[in-house]
């Protein structure tokens, strides 16, 4: 019988899955000390690398041994380490860097995962059970962690943007980025399209960051930043409303409420753009299926299938017009349906 003995392949495979967090957190640890960034300048021996990053040399060698076996680094016989093509993606300056994503999967998010069974039992966020308040409320009380979260989101925008930039923006006028974080998406969009104006809307403590980003990009004259709560209402005055990685943070009831607030604010010929993951309806592994669980554990939210997105949009008063797949998320475009009542 295969896989029943303690030395069996099945046993080893399951042990490897159980210990998966060790690889994930080891990646985060070497990123935190800037090890991949140091190696971006060229291969280095462990003592030199340890001295340059503030690591303990013995521990660094053991971390790198594990991550080299995962294909992120190479070690030559003289003990010199170098980045592989995969490892390069952990460097902060690399296009499409996953450095910030590693950061997002650590810290309080990782602590929340230690109570994932709470989410399994209740269908609700383990984060709130561990930390005593929902994630975004908690961030509002923890400026350092909030700044790190905004930085990490901004770092992910680059790849997210691609299908958005390729869209036809002629005549779009003013774009409202609802939950626009620290304004990086708006800044890139307006830099690419000098004919557009923008409004970035987010929680008051977050839009301060957007104001800085847009001013530094020389875009203050074409933008406005507004602080508020998207469950209470979103700014009017736009023709195109963007929700980038917003609805996946929320369960259906709240997601529908956000859509309704956008519907109320936008003109009848306006457009709604979602940048979200689409969960494939097959039995194959897919990053969106893992992120779906992460949304549940952290926020009580969810990733959705193509049919679930269409259904959610309809409940929010919209009809899906198109879906364009990008490298990290799908651009779903919708138009407001007439005759939608402002309820909920
Ligand atoms: C996952 S982040 C996405 C940020 C940005 N759109 C992006 O693509 O990187 C979710 C954003 O929703 C904002 N948010 C959460 N609750 C909110 C609320 N009640 N009203 C307005 N914004 C809110 C957060 O501050 C955060 O910037």
* Among 74, 93, 112, residue at a domain's last position: 93
Total domain count, the chain: 2
Q: 231 CB less than 6 Å from ligand 1? A: yes
Terminal Cα distance for the chain, rounded: 57
Residue 4, pLDDT > 60, answer: no
Q: Say whether both 309 and 193 belong to one domain.
A: yes
Q: 104 CB less than 6 Å from ligand 1? A: no
Q: pLDDT tens digits, residue range 130-156?
A: 999 999 999 999 999 998 888 888 777
Q: What is the mean pLDDT of residues 42-63?
A: 97
For residue 112, is it within any domain?
Answer: no
The pLDDT value given to residue 95: 84
Angle among Cα 59, 63, 67 to the nearest 5 degrees reads 165
- Cα(258) to centroid of ligand 1, in Å? 11
Residue 192, pLDDT > 80, answer: yes
Q: Say whether both 331 and 232 belong to one domain.
A: yes
Q: 206 CB less than 6 Å from ligand 1? A: yes
Q: pLDDT tens digits, residue range 309-323?
A: 999 999 999 999 999
- Cα(20) to centroid of ligand 1, in Å? 29
CA distances from 55 to 16, 32, 46, 290 (A): 26, 10, 10, 31
For residue 196, is it within any domain?
Answer: yes
For residue 124, is it within any domain?
Answer: no
Residue 268, pLDDT > 90, answer: yes
CATH number at residue 69: 1.10.10.10
Q: What is the mean pLDDT of residues 163-187?
A: 94
For residue 203, is it within any domain?
Answer: yes
Closest CA to 164 of 189, 198, 200: 189
**3-state SS string for the chain:** CCCCCCCCHHHHHHHHHHCHHHHHHHHHHHHHCCHHHHHCCCCEEHHHHHHHHCCCHHHHHHHHHHHHHCCCEEECCCCEEEECHHHHCCCCCCCCCCHHHHHHCCHHHHHHHCCHHHHHHHCCCHHHHHHCCCHHHHHHHCHHHHHHHHHHHHHHHHHHCHHHHCCCCCCCCEEEEECCCCCHHHHHHHHHCCCCEEEEEECHHHHHHHHHHHHHCCCHHHEEEEECCCCCCCCCCCCEEEEECCHHHCCHHHHHHHHHHHHHHCCCCCEEEEEECECCCCCCCCHHHHHHHHHHHHHCCCCECHHHHHHHHHHCCEEEEEEEECCCCEEEEEEECCCCCCCC
- Cα(320) to centroid of ligand 1, in Å? 22
For residue 22, is it within any domain?
Answer: yes
Residue 5, pLDDT > 80, answer: no
pLDDT band at 262 (very low <50, low <70, confident <90, very high): very high
The pLDDT value given to residue 152: 82
Q: Say whether both 246 and 317 belong to one domain.
A: yes
pLDDT band at 1 (very low <50, low <70, confident <90, very high): very low
Q: Say whether both 54 and 155 belong to one domain.
A: no
Residue 65, pLDDT > 90, answer: yes
- Cα(136) to centroid of ligand 1, in Å? 8
Q: What is the mean pLDDT of residues 74-97?
A: 94
The percentage of the chain sitting over the pLDDT mark of 70, rounded to a whole number, equals: 97
pLDDT: is 261 or 182 the higher one?
Answer: 261
Mutate to test the pocket of ligand 1, among 103, 147, 201, 202 (most ligand atoms within 8 A of CB): 202
Phi and psi, residue 63, nearest 5°: -65, -45
Q: 185 CB less than 6 Å from ligand 1? A: yes
Q: 243 CB less than 6 Å from ligand 1? A: no
Phi and psi, residue 132, nearest 5°: 85, -5
pTM, 2 dp: 0.92
Q: Say whether both 161 and 45 belong to one domain.
A: no
Q: Please answer whether residues 160 and 185 qualify as being in contact, where contact means their C-beta atoms are separated by less than 8 angstroms.
A: yes
Q: Say whether both 80 and 166 belong to one domain.
A: no
Structural domain of residue 233, as residue ranges? 151-336
Q: Say whether both 75 and 175 belong to one domain.
A: no
Q: pLDDT tens digits, residue range 214-255?
A: 999 999 999 999 999 999 999 999 999 999 999 999 999 999
The pLDDT value given to residue 304: 98
Beta bridge partners of 200: 177, 225
Q: 182 CB less than 6 Å from ligand 1? A: no
Q: Which residues contact 90 (CB under 8 A, 6 or more apart)?
A: 27, 30, 31, 36, 72, 83, 97, 98, 99, 102
- Cα(202) to centroid of ligand 1, in Å? 6
- Cα(19) to centroid of ligand 1, in Å? 32
Q: What is the mean pLDDT of residues 255-267?
A: 98
Q: Say whether both 65 and 168 belong to one domain.
A: no
Instruction: Look over the chain and give the mean of its residue pLDDT values, rounded to a whole number.
Output: 94
Mutate to test the pocket of ligand 1, among 182, 199, 203 (most ligand atoms within 8 A of CB): 203
Determine which one of 28, 100, 118, 248 is catalytic.
248
For residue 98, is it within any domain?
Answer: no
Mutate to test the pocket of ligand 1, among 103, 133, 135, 136 (most ligand atoms within 8 A of CB): 136
CATH number at residue 277: 3.40.50.150
Residue 110, pLDDT > 80, answer: yes
* Among 46, 61, 93, residue at a domain's last position: 93
Ligand 1 nearest atom to the CA of residue 229, by list position:
20
* Among 56, 71, 93, residue at a domain's last position: 93
Q: What is the mean pLDDT of residues 285-312?
A: 97
The percentage of the chain sitting over the pLDDT mark of 90, rounded to a whole number, equals: 86
For the question of residue 248 being annotated catalytic, the response is: yes
For residue 292, is it within any domain?
Answer: yes
């Amino acid at each position: 019988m295969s896989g029943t003995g303690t030395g069996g392949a099945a046993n080893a495979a399951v042990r490897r899955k159980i210990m998966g967090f060790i690889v994930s957190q080891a990646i985060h640890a070497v990123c935190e000390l800037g090890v991949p960034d140091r190696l971006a300048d060229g291969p280095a021996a462990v003592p030199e690398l340890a001295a340059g990053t503030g690591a303990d040399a013995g521990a660094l060698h053991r971390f790198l041994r594990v991550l080299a076996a995962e294909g992120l680094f190479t070690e030559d016989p003289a003990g010199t380490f170098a980045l592989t093509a995969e490892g390069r993606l952990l460097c902060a300056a690399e296009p499409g860097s996953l450095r910030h994503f590693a950061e997002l999967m650590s810290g309080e998010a990782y602590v929340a995962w230690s109570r994932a069974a709470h989410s399994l039992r209740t269908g609700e966020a383990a984060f709130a059970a561990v930390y005593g308040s929902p994630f975004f409320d908690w961030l509002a009380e923890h400026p350092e962690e909030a700044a790190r979260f905004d930085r990490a989101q901004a770092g992910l925008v680059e790849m997210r943007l691609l299908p958005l930039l390729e869209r036809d923006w002629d005549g779009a006028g003013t774009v409202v980025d609802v939950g626009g974080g620290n304004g990086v998406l708006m800044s890139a969009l307006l830099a690419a399209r000098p004919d557009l104006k923008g409004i970035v809307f987010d929680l008051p403590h977050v839009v301060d960051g957007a104001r800085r980003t847009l001013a530094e990009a020389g875009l203050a004259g074409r933008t406005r930043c507004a602080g508020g709560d998207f469950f209470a209402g979103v700014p009017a005055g736009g023709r195109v409303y963007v929700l980038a990685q917003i609805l996946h943070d929320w369960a259906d009831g709240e997601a529908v409420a956000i859509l309704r607030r956008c519907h109320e604010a936008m003109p009848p010929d306006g457009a709604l753009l979602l940048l979200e993951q689409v969960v494939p309806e097959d039995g194959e592994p897919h990053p969106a299926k893992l992120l779906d669980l992460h949304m549940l554990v952290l926020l009580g939210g969810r990733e959705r299938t193509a049919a679930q997105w269409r259904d959610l949009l309809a409940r929010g008063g919209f009809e899906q017009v198109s879906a364009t797949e990008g490298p990290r998320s799908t651009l779903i475009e919708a138009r407001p349906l007439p005759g939608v009542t402002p309820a909920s």
